[in-house]
Amino acid sequence: MSSRIKVSYWEAVNLSDREPVRESLRESLREVMPFDVVIVGAGPAGLSTACKLAQLCQDHETSLDICVIEKGSEIGAHILSGAVLEASALDELFPDWHNMQAPVKVPVTDDEVHLLTSSASSIKLPSFLVPPALHNSGNYVISLGNLCRWLGEQAESLGVQLFTGFTAAEILYNDDDQVIGIATGDMGRDKNGNEKGNFEEGYELHARYTVFAEGCRGHLGKELIEKYDLDKGKAPQHYGIGIKELWEVPAEAHSPGKVFHGVGWPLGLGKTTGGSFLYHLENNEVSVGLITDLNYSNPWLSPFDEFQRLKQHPAIRSVLSGGKRLSYGARALVKGGIQSLPNLVFPGGLLAGDNAGFLNFLKLKGSHTAMKSGMLAAESIYAALMGGGAEIANDNGVLESYQDNINTSSIARELYAARNVGPAMHKFGTLLGSAFAFIDQVIFRGKLPFTLKDMVPDHAALKRAEDCPRISYPAPDNEISFDKLSSVYISNTNHEEDQPCHLKLIDAETPTGFNLAEYDEPAQRYCPAGVYEIVRSDTKTRFQINAQNCVHCKTCDIKDPTQNIVWTAPEGGGGPNYPNM
């Protein structure tokens, strides 16, 4: 998807040259807003980039035009995480955060890992058997959505412009294939693409550097990785789908700061891997979730229904019983580790946070690495814009110093130490993989002299439906377990219905013509929002897409076995409206 505009060679790194595009050469009629730096995505990565850049300007009494563009209706609306926060990056970005009303108030008080051996039994693992990276002493139980809201306030007070409810829908390139910004999506097109009465054309946000911080499986990040071949020579990226609910539970079941992690039930101890969590926040709230690794092979598996089964385990049910479900949501997470990290820089821009893949799967934490990567990005961009020279960015606007700084950072060190655990789980399954993790992490401290890789992309891991056992899931009891539609309802998901479908099929016949026979069309089950349905009548079998229910988790884009489904951006502001997820 290339822009229609033409610009001459962009001589980037000079503060006196604020206007990156020569107006005389533009052919597009879209309105243009020039910035020094455009940041796509107001998650921890994007907001930390913005705050750090603005702080550097303040420290040096300079100024830069910085904007952050966010597709959620407000900051935090599309943020879904656990979350236990390792505060290292926050300490660095705002050393005084304790006195700044940051929503980081619940220190971890109790930290347990359980092996869920069956639907009714579990064993609490002694602390010495748990890899040190999974210990949570010194961390905080938070709502990442609320932390992002707070980071947004800090960014705004530092002079950053925040545009919420706008999607970065298109990457703008010049004739030399340098990124020169993004275009927001049009608003007010009907489902056939025609302009409605309220039509508004998208804007072009031009920038001297564009930071892509869209989170896991960013749709622009995907385009950039492909265009610039950023993943050449890397292992395929791997993913999980995290399904989460927020509950208010009876006071006697609540223990602020308690962190529970589970492995085993309901996914079992074999090759279908993942893990569960139950975190006690403040105000009698707990967040409960299940992560199912997306390399699973049985197309009958439904991550949503596995999550419903998880909640029936006595270890979880005992906390939720008598409580009230407040919110529901789902989000893919990136877990390939350092083996799968693409190159991070290209002419005119860079990848930060989970759009690159900095989540530490062993720790199940990516917020601190996302923030740190944003801060390192800001330092490199600031130095380049202030005329830092060829050691910062080459003539083509490639910020080589960002790549170098990441390679020698705490992020690279922790991802390197954790690198073998994910592939070992994929190769050996949960039980043997956990034994390997113990040896790798507790005995060798992540220093084994080899690196395992899983070279099979997640979408290619599915087996034929007829070769796999069917899984029958119990009906929801509507107390602890629920169906998809009532769940999506409390994610407050909303899309304008009369707009072009944002879930594109490369070939419209593949779902019914191939996937159905081969895999019983797995989209019916892997989508946690009931977006995809096979509808049968006497004369026809068709694939229905209920795009208005989409919670933007990106699982279909990842797991569709023929990579036939492409997630694109709906109108800005559409999607879930998560409260404190």
By CB under 6 A, name the binding residues for ligand SF4. Answer: 503, 527-529, 531, 550-556, 567
In the complex with ligand SF4, the residue whose CB is nearer, 188 or 530, is 530
**C-beta separation of 392 from 402 below 8 A:** no
Bridge partners of residue 346, in order along the sequence? 349
Residues 227/358/572/72 CA torsion (nearest 10 deg)? 180
Q: Select the residue interacting with ligand FAD from 170, 186, 214, 521 (CB under 6 A).
A: 214
Q: Select the residue interacting with ligand FAD from 49, 57, 70, 385 (CB under 6 A).
A: 70
In the complex with ligand FAD, the residue whose CB is nearer, 249 or 553, is 553
Taking the complex as a whole, how short is the minimal distance between the CB of residue 414 and ligand FAD, in angstroms? 12
- Supply 218's token pair: 């960013």
In the complex with ligand FAD, the residue whose CB is nearer, 245 or 521, is 245
Taking the complex as a whole, how short is the minimal distance between the CB of residue 237 and ligand SF4, in angstroms? 16
Dist CA 477 CA 553 (whole Å): 25
In the complex with ligand SF4, the residue whose CB is nearer, 149 or 525, is 525
Q: Select the residue interacting with ligand FAD from 64, 66, 207, 213 (CB under 6 A).
A: 213
Among the listed ranges 3-11, 56-64, 196-204, 210-218, the one in contact with ligand FAD (CB under 6 A) is 210-218
Is residue 237 a contact residue for ligand FAD (CB under 6 A)? no
In the complex with ligand FAD, the residue whose CB is nearer, 377 or 392, is 377
- Supply 314's token pair: 């006595």
Q: Which of ligand SF4, ligand FAD, none does 503 bind, CB closer than 5 to 8 A by kind? A: ligand SF4
Taking the complex as a whole, how short is the minimal distance between the CB of residue 493 and ligand SF4, in angstroms? 9
Q: Is 446 left (phi over 0), alpha (psi -120 to 50) or beta?
A: left
Dist CA 145 CA 85 (whole Å): 12
**C-beta separation of 184 from 325 below 8 A:** no
Query: Which residue, among 254, 182, 175, 180, has the nearest Cα to 218 in the 3D structure?
Result: 182
CA 468 to chain centroid = 30
Q: Which residues contact 170 (CB under 8 A, 6 or more apart)?
A: 1, 3, 182, 183, 185, 202
Quick note: the x/- pattern for ligand FAD over 82-101, rule CB under 6 A, is xxxx----------------
Q: Which of ligand SF4, ligand FAD, none does 338 bind, CB closer than 5 to 8 A by kind? A: none
Dist CA 544 CA 531 (whole Å): 8
Dist CA 545 CA 548 (whole Å): 9
Q: Which of ligand SF4, ligand FAD, none does 569 bind, CB closer than 5 to 8 A by kind? A: ligand FAD
* Residue 158 one-letter amino acid: L
Q: Select the residue interacting with ligand FAD from 167, 178, 401, 510 (CB under 6 A).
A: 167
Binding site for ligand FAD (CB under 6 A): 40-46, 69-72, 78-85, 144, 167-168, 213-216, 218, 220, 242, 244, 289, 291, 331, 333, 353-355, 359, 364-368, 370, 569
